Structure 1
Amino acid sequence: MGYTKDLRILHKTNGVLSAELIADILNVTKTTVQKWERQGLLTCLKEDERGKRYYPVTQLLQFPKFRELIFSSWEQEQLIQPLRPYRTLELFAGAGGLALGLEQAGLHVISLNEIDKDACGTLQQNRPQWQVIEADIRTLHWECLIETEIDLLTGGFPCQAFSYAGEKLGFADTRGTLFFEFARAIKEVQPKVFLGENVRGLLNHDRGRTIKTIEAVLSEIGYTLMPPQVLNALFYRVPQKRQRLFLVGIRNDLVPYAQFAWPSPCPQIMTLADALKAGVLYETDVPASVGQRYPEQKAAILQQVPEGGCWRDLPPDLQQAYLMGSFRLDGGKTGMARRLAWDEPALTLTCSPAQKQTERCHPTETRPLTVREYARIQTFPDDWQFCGSLASQYRQIGNAVPVNLAAAVGRSLVNLLNALEIKLPQPTIGLSAAKQLEFSFA
């Protein structure tokens, strides 16, 4: 079987991919891609005026991760629907990126808890039907607040270091941390399934001891943790390189009936142009909105940075003047004076688009990204409005789970809850990537 039909599903490739996109897809550095070219594994077909080098898509089939992308079950997984309205409780809800994505996957949001006033205003303004509990989670008693059975409890609990005292760590040992409050809610609500979301660094924090403690605590309260997974939003119709850790746990009495698989990657890699211009993700160009502005001196410097460039593209005298004390420090520092590129995914959004260490300058205009541009990169719909000051809106969006990533994870959770609903093992949705590949070579 040929590859023509399968390769056509890659977005706007014209048969080639840039070294930058190849590095993102394969989770390697651009230097590694260039090394493969020197070794003869890849052949550069063209180089543009910016010095970007492009390679044929067909040569990338030698890499298993790329074949996984091509022969993904993404399309089949879009058909997953809940057998009934599964009820969801969300903690640390923020501006609603996770809740909105789960809603798009077919889950029914019952209640949300958030301490930030502006974020609560955002939730209430956009979804008046949602019960939003604006309170410090440490003051809440879930047995009194939740009167209905909850199928799924979710939350991106902030990660704090645990205080280790001896070898036997348990539920009480995490007291004082917000993970303890997340675990306490699980213990009191007794959902069938929970979803936790966090920074990828949690997986290896303190040489893996933190995640082992989390697993031990969850076991103590009656839940089995699936192997944690770091997902890159880039592979789930999000025009942004953003890696987050996801934890899924199942109540022990339901584990014999459980069948869970993480979402398959989307074969279409989205770029900044897909976020801000009419096309695949949005029907119109990004609407105008408020945004930060650069001081005159900083704007004059960034004006000299080309699309996709950073401080390294400045004249030597300006490099040192701009970086100051950071100039002689180790590391690439490529987030400094960084201008985004239309034909690449955005870098991970921070809580401010104009922080010196993590600059997010518009690709062709010398200004930070606006609020609506930020929201689109996080795949919020244009009618999702944010409350509070300009700084608060940026912070809410920057802290959110990308909506499309949340929807992809949500469909996997719906598939799991469907299996638990009928208490029978379910067939996998579509063929596995490996099986499809086997058929493709037949």
Structure 2
Amino acid sequence: MSDVQEISPYANCELLSLEVLADVLSESKRTLDAWVSKGILVPHIISDDNKLYFNRKHLSHFPEVNQLIESDWAKEESITPKRPYKLVELFAGAGGLAIGLEKAGFNSIFLNELDKSACATLRHNRPHWNVVEGDIANINFESITESVDILTGGFPCQAFSYAGKKLGFEDTRGTLFFEFARAVKELNPKVFMAENVRGLLTHENGKTLETIKEVIEELGYVLIEPRVLKAIFYKVPQKRERLILVGIRKDYADKVKFNWPSAYNKVLTLRDAFYAGILYEQDVPESAGQVYPLRKKEIMSMVPPGGYWRDLSDELQREYMQGSYFLGGGKTGMARRLSLDEPSLTLTTSPAQKQTERCHPFETRPLQIREYARIQTFPDEWEFKGSLGAIYRQIGNAVPVNMAAAIGRSLIRVLNDIEEL
């Protein structure tokens, strides 16, 4: 990969650009610009190209910034299991969660996944893993004779039917949450961890999550209050969010405490993903990837780093957007080019979808598969199997490896505490 841009002189732990600070605070750049105008935020440095940088020590009154300053990440990296904890994972995908949990110290004894290409990926990279391909509904978990310490997985969010229902375990039949809950019931792990989209919090006006909580209670577990974790806090150069649910079996729940993982001390950007440094020892290798049709490439070449369709001339906006030009909303994913100096937007299952464009920062093309994988913090040696489309889908659907590892260390810690009871 050609290194055509020099490293920013402000790329250190103490300074946050306005763009990165907006991500940390979950505010828009426009809001932060307004705060600067009102004197609420005072830039530490204004760069030659008029970019604003803030000293994070002066922003410690923001809890989100303070967690970067008071990071216990290095301390938590030393957490190791008191014995080999046995893990069963459902909806395993291409292994993002499984690799992260392996890094934390878990021993996977059973992984289930429906997608054929994802199973091929898992088997190729970890021949010793017990990868069971097929529909989860057909699996008898009682056939797993080993004692399971932890069950994990990301069940897809599906609507339940509420009419005339008691909203218990049996009433969730026909959904993939039911299958996850059935695995909890049959395996009786000490702890479980499920991950999902942020939208589960408000799905069906909150009724879906309430039903899930009732079923977890019915199964004999105490649910830690669910929390949305932002990947940028966990050594991942991506603005991805995942809802994490942790349950502890009732015979242990009042004797131990689950601690959420600490944030890493720095927000990483696309530059950290693509070039040798904190995350990788060498620059990202060339790899296969989608390509743009000629006219789209011509138009996308006029979008600046970090820009999108509104940075085009009105004539080109109308040509590219077509009917969407007249619709409301920001449509900020359309004709979007990423910036090296910001975390990536959340990856989707394809880098060239019109609504969620993920164009390379300075080359006019969609992100390649190794670039995609690095944004999800997969190791370079992790090889993906299947068609190009299948590989993008596997990577785009994955849990970022480094975030999974951080959560995994918190789970190891609570299992260590259970072990000492």
TM range (shorter): over 0.9
Question: TM-score by structure 2 length?
Answer: 0.95
Deviation at 1:54, TM superposition (A): 2.6
Q: Which amino acid aligns with 1:323?
A: M
Which amino acid in structure 2 is aligned with residue 116 of structure 1?
Answer: D
2:291 to 283, 290, 293: 293
* 1:381 matched to 2:365: no
The letter for the 2-side match of 1:16 is L
Between the aligned partners of 1:232 and 1:393, the Cα distance in structure 2 is 24
- Find the aligned partners of 1:192 and 1:16 in 2 and give their Cα distance: 42
For the residue of structure 2 that corresponds to 1:224, the secondary structure is: strand
- Which segments of structure 1 move beyond 4 Å, counting only runs of 4 or more? none
Pairing 1:358-437 to 2, within 5 Å after superposition: 358-423=356-421
How far residue 48 of structure 1 moved from its aligned partner, in angstroms, is 4.6
Aligned equivalent of 1:46? 46
CA distance in 2, matches of 1:22, 1:194: 33
- More displaced 10-residue stretch of structure 1: 213-222 or 252-261: 252-261
Letter in 1 for 2:221: Y
Whether the 8 Å contact between 2:13 and 2:265 is mirrored in structure 1 is no
Q: How does 1:270-349 map to 2 (within 5 A)?
A: 270-349=268-347
Mapping 1:17-28, distance limit 5 Å: 17-28=16-27
Report the Cα offset of residue 118 of structure 1: 0.5
Q: Is the 8 A contact 1:158 1:179 kept in 2?
A: yes
User: In the alignment, what sits opposite 2:73?
Assistant: 74
- Contact 1:43/1:56 (CA < 8 Å) preserved in 2? no
* Unaligned residue ranges in structure 2 (runs of 5+): 1-9
Match of 2:97 in 1: 98
Deviation by residue 1:215-238 (Cα, 9 ceiling, x = unmatched):
101111111111001001100000
The count of aligned residue pairs is: 411
Q: In the TM superposition, what is the alpha-carbon distance from 1:14 to its structure 2 partner?
A: 7.4
Aligned counterparts, 1:206-225, within 5 A:
206-225=204-223
- Secondary structure of the 2:192 match is strand
Cα drift, residue 167 of structure 1: 6.0
Structure 1 residue 187 displacement after superposition: 0.3
Q: Which runs of 5+ in 1 are unaligned?
A: 1-10, 424-442
- Contact 1:96–1:400 (Cα < 8 Å) also in 2: yes
In structure 2, do the counterparts of structure 1 residues 368 and 83 end up closer, same or farther at CA, with 3 Å as the change threshold? Answer: same
Give the Cα–Cα distance (whole angstroms) in 1 for the partners of residues 353 and 123 of structure 2. Answer: 30
Secondary structure, aligned partner of 2:60: helix
Q: Distance in 1 between matches of 2:363 and 2:158?
A: 39
Q: Tell me by how many angstroms 1:20 deviates.
A: 0.8
Q: Give identity over the alignment, percent.
A: 59
> Structure 1 residues 401 and 14, CA, compared in 2 at 3 Å: closer, same or farther?
closer
Shift of the 182–48 alpha-carbon distance from structure 1 to 2, 3 Å rule, reads farther
- The answer to whether the 8 A contact 1:46-1:55 is kept is no
State yes or no: 1:122 paired with 2:121.
yes
Please, what is the CA RMSD of the aligned residues? 1.3
Pick closer, same or farther for the CA change 1:70–1:15 going to 2, 3 Å: closer
Counterpart amino acid of residue 244 in structure 1: R
Equivalent residues of 2:13, 2:266 under 8 A apart: no
Matched with 2:3 is none
Give the Cα separation in 2 of the matches to 1:379 and 1:28.
25
Counterparts of 1:61 and 1:250, CA distance in 2: 33
Following TM superposition, by how much is the alpha carbon of 1:324 offset from its aligned partner in structure 2, in angstroms? 1.0
2:65 match: secondary structure: helix
Aligned-residue offset at 1:411: 0.1
Counterpart amino acid of 2:329?
A: G
Contact map agreement 2:165 2:171 (CA 8 A) in 1: no
